[in-house]
Amino acid sequence: MITIFKVIGSAVCHQMAERSFILQGQQLPVCARCTGIYTGMFFSMVFFVIFRRLHGNRPYSTKGMLLGALAFIPISVDGFFSYLGFWESTQLLRVVTGALAGASLSGFFLLGANFMVGAENKKPIFQSFGEQLLVMGMTLLFGIMIWLNMGSYFVTSVIVALGIVYFWANLIYLILKNLAGNRILPFWLLSFCGSFLIIMTIGVLRQ
C-alpha cells in the first residue's frame, strides 16, 4: 500500500521529506501543502456526493463567491513569497493554506462545468454560506490534526489519494462538459476512469 500511495502522490507532488508530514513513522504521499489541498478536495467530494451536488450549476451568492475567491489568496501569498525567499513557510502554514484552497476548488470546477448560459441554473452547489464554511472547517480541522500528529498514516493516505483522483476527475469533467455541448454522456464515469489512468501513468513514469 505504501508503494501505491507513493506512486499516486508522485503524480502531483515533489514529495520532499522536509516539507512532508510523518505519521506513524511513514512519510505521507504528498507534501504538507498538497496534503491540505487534496484533503480539501476529498471533503468536498464527500459533501457533494452525500448531498447530490455533483451536477450543481447555480452560481454562488456574492458572499459565497467572495469567500471562495479569498480562500486562494493565502496559498498564493505564502507560496510566492516563500519561494522568493522572503520567509520560510512552516508546515502548519502550508497545510492550512492548502486546505483553504482545496476546500474551495471543487465548487468552482463544478460551476465552470455545469453552468449553462441562458438557462435557469437552479441546482445548487452550496445551498448556503454555512455549507461552504462546513467543508472548509472540516478540512482545516483535519489538517491541524495531522500537524499535531493525530492521525493514521493509512487513513490519511487514502483520503489524500482519493482527493488526488477527484482533483483530476474534476479537471477532466470540466473539459468534457465544455467540449460535449448538449450530448449526454456518462461524464463522471469517464472522468474518474481518465483520472486514474493519468495519475498511474505519470506516477509510474516518475518512479
Among residues 66, 71, 59, 92, the alpha carbon closest in space to that of 137 is found at 71
Q: What is the pLDDT of residues 193-202, one digit of tens each?
A: 999 999 999 9
Cell readout for 11 is 503524480
Residue 182 has a pLDDT of 80
Residue 181 has a pLDDT of 81
Number of neighbours of residue 198 by Cβ within 10 angstroms: 16
Among residues 16, 75, 48, 39, the alpha carbon closest in space to that of 151 is found at 39
Residue 3 has a pLDDT of 83
Q: What is the pLDDT of residues 131-167, one digit of tens each?
A: 999 999 999 999 999 999 998 999 999 999 999 999 9
In the predicted model, residues of the chain with pLDDT beneath 70 are 1-2
Global confidence as pTM: 0.94
